[in-house]
Every structure is written in structure tokens, then in C-alpha cells.
Amino acid sequence: MNNLLQAEIFKLRHNKSFWLILIVSLGLSSLMHYLVITGWWMLTNTPFETMGIPEMNALSMFILPLFFNLMTGTLAAFYISTEFDSSGVIKNQIISGKNRSLIYLAKYLVFTAAATVITVIIPVGTGLILNLLMNAGIFDGNSMMYLLKAFGLFTLQLAGYTAIVTLIAILTGDSGRTIIFTIVFTLIMFVIEKMPMSDIITAIYDYSVFRQFSIVMNPEMTSGDIIAAVVIGVISTAVMLVIGMYIFNKKEIK
């Protein structure tokens, strides 16, 4: 497994799309935080404002699935889907006699780590650094504990989401279709959230990682809410991984 992870990390490090997305995330995050801190971009009614750290309001954009999907979906398209030929058949060189489930798991773990860096660590890190450099003074114990708890739970939901994106990339086997399908899937979740739906669909959505993305940012989360977020994140990730491994094992090798 260690060799598989090293191989995937090597592929990621030499993936130009990853570095481009990372630079875009860094540049955009720095710009958005700077505009918020200097007062050029005004945001209100955010959980960060409720916690008394409005200087971090730019993070409100980075926690929206419609936004961070553009980065994670694109990364999956050019990191995972490119290892299939035009018909969706697995290229023989990515198997190399190894257990397919372990190969799939290694790809998922490296992809999730990269997605976490791009959509969590960079936005939060640049916000904290800029606030420190510009003497915004948000580094008190309560605000730091809130950020640690909120984005820790957010990352757990992100792991479930990247498991879904990995599955989509495996199913489509094409970079263009991966981007389109992930965007469409996110839009469907957005519509379900905003529009009246049947009780069954609403119940399913309420216990999905998409619903949790907003819940985990609530400064007034109860112990029950935290436990529910952990359980939903873990179960969603496990279920999607099992399904993904099953499909990957059934894929044809060229």
C-alpha cells in the first residue's frame, strides 16, 4: 500500500493541472481575504461574523459546494479520469498486478489529500496569515477553537464528497464528462436544498454530506450535531468507497 501511495503522490506532483488549480486557489483566496479585511468586499450574516471574526468572511465562498466543486471536479478529471482510454476502459499500466481495491483506495486518499489542501488548508491558512500580517487580531482561543472544530468536521464531509467525485470519475472515465457530471450533480443537490421536495428526498438530503457542509459551520452546534456530522461523514465515505471499489474491480482492462 505504501508503494501505491508513493506512486500516486508522484503522479500528483507531476500533474500540471494540480499545480495550476493550487495556484488559482492560493491567488483567489489571498485576493478574497484581502478584499474582506480591507473592507472592499462586504459580507454579512455569515457564521464567521456570528463568531466575531468577520475578517474571515471570505471563507463563506470556499465552503459552498457549487464553488469548491469546480476545483475538486477539475482535479479529479485530470488526475483520475485521464487513466482511462476514450471508451472508459482501464489502461493496463495503472494496474501493474496489484489488488484493484488497494489501487482505488490509494487514488482516493491522494486525491482527497490534494482536495483538502486546495479547498481547506489554503483558504483557511491564507486567511489566518493575512489577518496576522495586517494586524486584524482574530487569534483568540474561542475563534481558533471554532475554526478548528468547524473545518475539522468540514474536512470529514469533504472526504465523503471526494469519495463521490472519485466514483463519478471512475464511472465516466473521461475528463470532460467528469467535470460535467460533478457540476450537474452539485446543481441537483443545490436545487433539492432550495426547492420543495418529497419527504423521502428531503430526508435523504438532510442526512447527506451536502447538508452537513452548512451545518458544521454553525457556531452553536450541539454535541448531538457533532456526533451526527461525524457519523454521516464516516458512513458516506465508507459506502461510496465500497461502491467505487466494486465498480473499479469490474472495469475492463485494455
Q: How do residues 114-144 score in pLDDT, each as one tens digit?
A: 999 999 999 999 999 998 888 766 677 788 8
Q: What's the predicted TM-score (pTM) here?
A: 0.88
φ and ψ of 20, to 5 deg? -65, -45
Residue 192 scores a pLDDT above 80: no
The CA distance from 82 to 144, in Å, is: 39
pLDDT in the model for residue 89: 52
Q: Identify whether the C-beta of residue 133 lies closer than 8 Å to the C-beta of residue 192.
A: no
Q: What is the pLDDT of residues 3-37, one digit of tens each?
A: 888 888 888 888 889 999 999 999 999 999 999 88
Closest CA to 128 of 111, 99, 107, 151: 151
Closest CA to 75 of 142, 141, 122, 139: 122
Q: Identify whether the C-beta of residue 146 lies closer than 8 Å to the C-beta of residue 42.
A: no
Which structural domain range is residue 148 located in? 2-250
Q: Identify whether the C-beta of residue 106 lies closer than 8 Å to the C-beta of residue 7.
A: yes
Number of domains forming the structure of the chain: 1
The CA distance from 155 to 45, in Å, is: 23
